[in-house]
Amino acid sequence: MAISKNTMIRKYVQAIREGNASIFAGAGLSRGSGYVDWKTLLKPLAKEVSLEIEREKDYLSVAQYYRNESGARASINQELLNVFNAEVDENENVEIIARLPISTYWTTNYDKLIEKELEKNNKKVDVKMDSDQLATVLLNRDAVVYKMHGDVDHPAHAVLTKDDYILYDNKRPLFKTILKGDLISKKFLFIGFSFEDPNLDYVLGQIHALMDENIAEHYCVLRSVNKLDYENDEDYGYEKARQELRSKDLARYGIQTVFVDDYNEITDILRNIELAVKRNNVFVSGSADDYGAWGSEKAKELAKKIAKNLVKNDFKITSGFGLGLGSSVINGALSEIFQSKYKHIDEYLCLRPFPQGIMDLKEKNNLYNQYRRDMISDTGIAVFMFGNKEEPKGSKKIIDAPGCWEEFIIARDNENIIIPIGSTGFMAKKIFDEVKANMDNYKYLEKYIDILEKEPNVDKLVEIVTTIAKEQRMA
């Protein structure tokens, strides 16, 4: 059964936010890096047993025929080593799924793309490729990668021939148990599979055997049959009908199909998923040595209530602990977390105080810039208020905080939703003026712009900031 891209994205993003999402990667995910698909991998082996790979549909049998004829596994092992140890290109799809806050990845691929990309994102990865490894847990792991068909470094144990599939349950029995648990508790996104991929058939068979009719909803992205790929209307019509039947068959396993016309659309889907996930994370920027007409008490009340109300609406707050306001932001977030979020602090608050004690000005500026970029990179909404400091310290001279402007530039370039509370003055007002002068880029603020510019009432501003954040989270 097919569903729309937007529906799938909305449901899958919700699963990510709830910590219940998983990725199941097929060979197509690795093709973007230059790795081969099943057909290309087996082409030289098919030729050696006098078969034409273009005429074959059952790739497992091709591998088995070669194994039968050669009498040894060595050539298959060597082919895996040659193909999957080659230099590869960057792959945006893999980069995105590695950045997503997902802790469980399943794959039938032999390459190391997923685990390497996770490590690039500073995630500690626990790779499982045989049953013995399932009994141990890597301390402080951030993600688990289940390589259910083996790894290129151990080609003799890779699942490739028909015999390998038949004997799978005997050699890797615990993988079925863990997969069953994940299929019950998580929503899977199957990506990189095709209707001709033998791994998809095998995985579906496992799902049906494990779950029968009691299965959660999962999603699979597949390329639609394209008329240009066929020599005549009859062949196209046949494959189109076959695809529709297959989509309905996938629904038996709880898998809803999203069809795309081009593989590039998969990248767009992943980008939109990442963007939606980020928009659940709000960066609050603001510092103050001087509170202007607001006064200290009212300014801190605004910061506290904004954080509290955003957490109440299931947003996660990121704060750099800005001077004069940071503690109020944190107190607001914590009060709501302890009141209604079962003390799940890490799920709703990310505290990133800046490093202190750096005497060299150039070193400090460079470090702070990189720190800001890293802090904002995981957020999708940025709120700006006040933004000033005493310069130099003790001089009583108040200036607009350049760090606040820098955070605006980084957030803008990160494609964050920008919410500047201009009525608080200082750097927030300059950011507001910049936004107002370029409203074509900030159309989501059009009906709120006058309130953000002039409104002095704390509760009205809290309501507006929350409303904008909620609207853009669902956009």
Residue-wise DSSP of 358-400: ---HHHHHHHHHHHHHHHHHT-SEEEE---EEESSTTS--EEE
| CB contact at 8 A, 422 and 456 | no
Give me 184's structure tokens: 């019950």
At 436 the three-state DSSP class reads helix
Question: CA-to-CA distance for 123 and 116, rounded, in angstroms?
Answer: 10
C-alpha distances in Å from residue 435, one per residue of 62, 401, 432, 463: 61, 18, 5, 20
Region of 318 (left: φ > 0; alpha: ψ -120 to 50; beta: rest) is beta
Token pair 């033998």 in the structure block, residue: 198
> Residues 351-354: contacts with CB within 8 Å, 24+ apart?
351/319, 351/321, 352/318, 352/319, 352/320, 352/321, 353/320, 353/321, 353/326, 354/320, 354/321
Cis preceding-peptide flag for 198 (omega within 30 of 0): no
Question: CA-to-CA distance for 183 and 175, rounded, in angstroms?
Answer: 12
Question: CA-to-CA distance for 45 and 52, rounded, in angstroms?
Answer: 10
Q: Give the CA dihedral 434, 438, 443, 444, nearest 10 degrees.
A: -10
The verdict on whether 149 is a catalytic residue reads yes
Amino acid letter at 350?
Answer: C
Determine which one of 149, 154, 208, 218 is catalytic: 149
Q: How many residues does the chain have?
A: 475
Give me 124's structure tokens: 């500690």
Give me 387's structure tokens: 């933004």
Q: Catalytic amino acids?
A: 149
